[in-house]
Amino acid sequence: MDVTPRLHSPSTGVVITGGASGLGRATAEALAAVGRPVSLWDLDAEKTARVADEIARRYEVPTQGLAVDVRDPKALERGVASARQAMPNIGGLVHAAGVVDTDSLDGLTAEGWDDGIRVHLRPVALLAKALLPDLAAQPGSAIVAFASINATLGNAANPIYSAAKGGALSLVRSLADRLARDGIRINAISPGQIRTPMLAPSVEHLGEAAYTRRILLERLGEPEEIGRVVRFLLSDEASYITAAEIVVDGGNISSQRM
Ligand X SMILES: NC(=O)c1ccc[n+]([C@@H]2O[C@H](COP(=O)([O-])OP(=O)(O)OC[C@H]3O[C@@H](n4cnc5c(N)ncnc54)[C@H](O)[C@@H]3O)[C@@H](O)[C@H]2O)c1
Nearest CA among 187, 185, 196 for reference residue 247: 187
Q: Give the nearer residue to ligand X in terms of CB position, either 76 or 179.
A: 76
Burial (CB < 10 A; 0-12, 13-18, 19+), residue 54, is middle
According to the binding rule CB under 6 A, does residue 22 interact with ligand X? yes
Q: Give the nearer residue to ligand X in terms of CB position, either 42 or 138.
A: 42
Task: List beta partners, residue 93.
Answer: 15, 143
According to the binding rule CB under 6 A, does residue 111 interact with ligand X? no
* 161 annotated active-site: yes
According to the binding rule CB under 6 A, does residue 241 interact with ligand X? no
According to the binding rule CB under 6 A, does residue 21 interact with ligand X? yes
According to the binding rule CB under 6 A, does residue 211 interact with ligand X? no
Q: Which range touches ligand X (CB under 6 A), out of 53-61, 95-103, 136-144, 238-246? A: 95-103
- 48, 25 contact by CB (below 8 A): no
Site string for ligand X, 131-170 (x = CB under 6 A): ---------------x-x----------------------
Footprint on residues 40-79 left by ligand X (CB under 6 A): 42-43, 68-71
Task: List beta partners, residue 66.
Answer: 41
Q: Within 13 Å, how many C-alpha atoms sit on residue 120's CB side?
A: 28
Which residue's beta carbon is nearest to the bound ligand X?
22
The least distance separating ligand X from the CB of residue 3, rounded to whole angstroms, comes to 32
- 177, 243 contact by CB (below 8 A): yes
The least distance separating ligand X from the CB of residue 197, rounded to whole angstroms, comes to 4
Q: Given the rule CB under 6 A, which residues bind ligand X?
A: 17-18, 20-24, 42-43, 68-71, 96-99, 119, 146, 148, 191, 193-194, 196-199
Which residues are part of the catalytic machinery? 161
